[in-house]
Structure 1
Amino acid sequence: MTSVTLTARDLARRSQAAAGAKDRDTWLGLFADDAVVEDPVGPSPLCPDGRGHHGAEAIAGFYDTVIGQVDRMRFAIEHSYLCGDEVADVGSIHITLPGGHSVQVSGVFTYRSDGSGKITALRAYWEFDSVS
């Protein structure tokens, strides 16, 4: 039987689907134990020191305080560039916040695979002050 290796793009789509479905366990299960999430890259109200969320516990905390707090999340990827073990997705995330307020986050979202089916890095390039 032949095993299929997931590409970084495959992992990105699974991550986006799990986040959109608010499936915490599936989303967290996509990450390697030593992975990092930088969303957005650099200092922001979501990560004041700008170093990102490193390791399973910190990534779970990011999920609980960010993704877990929205009512709805939908990804609209306009372009996707797969290069080796990484993919860069260009597009937007449409988010409905509690109370019905909607925002759109446009940016570049990169995912790095460890080559054996886990995400080692999720980096989101978007400007916090440009959220519409």
Structure 2
Amino acid sequence: MSGPEATRRGSVRWDATEAEHPARRAARASMAAVARGAKADWLALFAADALVQDPVGPSPLDPSGQGHRGTAAIGAFWDSVIAGAASLHFHVHDSFAAGSEVANTGRIRTHLPDGATMDADGVFLYRVDDSGLLISMRAFWEFDRAMATLTPNP
């Protein structure tokens, strides 16, 4: 763990190919940083003008649907969305690398502070620049479909 914010206990389960690829490496590093709650480590993976769309398009998490561009906006996304989870668990079923990108299929299970859980199944795309920094992260999942999985604390 790194930094004072790294207190979350999440996980990354990787059932996909282990074949080396720069975008796959960045995607795995991104998920690992989020799982352990390491905001500074996560932000360090992004190029200065990177774009995060999670989910892609308008949603309650991004009403404009334009995403979050630049490390300041991406950091604000962390603060308003990611930081509110008690833990995040990633399960990657498959991973397809091509060019400077990787598309991962899988599920993100969010545990909320009150004990409720929610699952977001989707396709998660990561693109890197020539130095291996993320220039975009685009998550294709349906907000209403994920909310339908919300299971309150028993």
Taking structure 1 as the reference length, what is the TM-score of the superposition?
0.94
- Taking the TM superposition and a 5 Å limit, the aligned residue runs for 1:25-36 are 25-36=40-51
Q: Distance in 2 between matches of 1:110 and 1:100?
A: 29
Structure 2: unaligned runs, 5 residues or longer:
1-19, 150-154
**Larger relative contact order, structure 1 or 2 (CA cutoff 8 Å, min sep 6):** 1
Q: Distance in 1 between matches of 2:75 and 2:44?
A: 10
* Aligned partner (choices 53, 78, 82) of residue 97 of structure 2: 82
**Is this contact kept in 2: 1:6–1:115, CA < 8 A?**
no
* Aligned partner (choices 57, 62, 74) of residue 42 of structure 1: 57
What residue is the counterpart of 1:94 in the other structure? 109
What secondary structure sits across from 2:114 in the alignment? Answer: coil
- How many positions carry a matched residue from both structures? 128
Taking structure 2 as the reference length, what is the TM-score of the superposition?
0.81
- Residues 1:72 and 2:72 are matched in the alignment: no
Q: CA deviation at 1:6?
A: 6.3
Give a deviation string over 1:5-56, Cα, whole Å, max 9, x none.
9600000000000000000000011000000000000000000000000011
Structure 1 vs Structure 2 CA RMSD: 1.1
What percentage of aligned pairs have identical amino acids?
46
Q: Distance in 2 between matches of 1:117 and 1:85?
A: 9
- The letter for the 2-side match of 1:21 is R
- The letter for the 1-side match of 2:29 is R
Q: CA deviation at 1:130?
A: 0.3
- Residues 1:130 and 2:148 are matched in the alignment: no
- Residues 1:56 and 2:88 are matched in the alignment: no
Runs of 4+ aligned structure 1 residues displaced above 4 Å come to: none
Q: Distance in 2 between matches of 1:107 and 1:6?
A: 21
Q: Distance in 1 between matches of 2:56 and 2:75?
A: 18
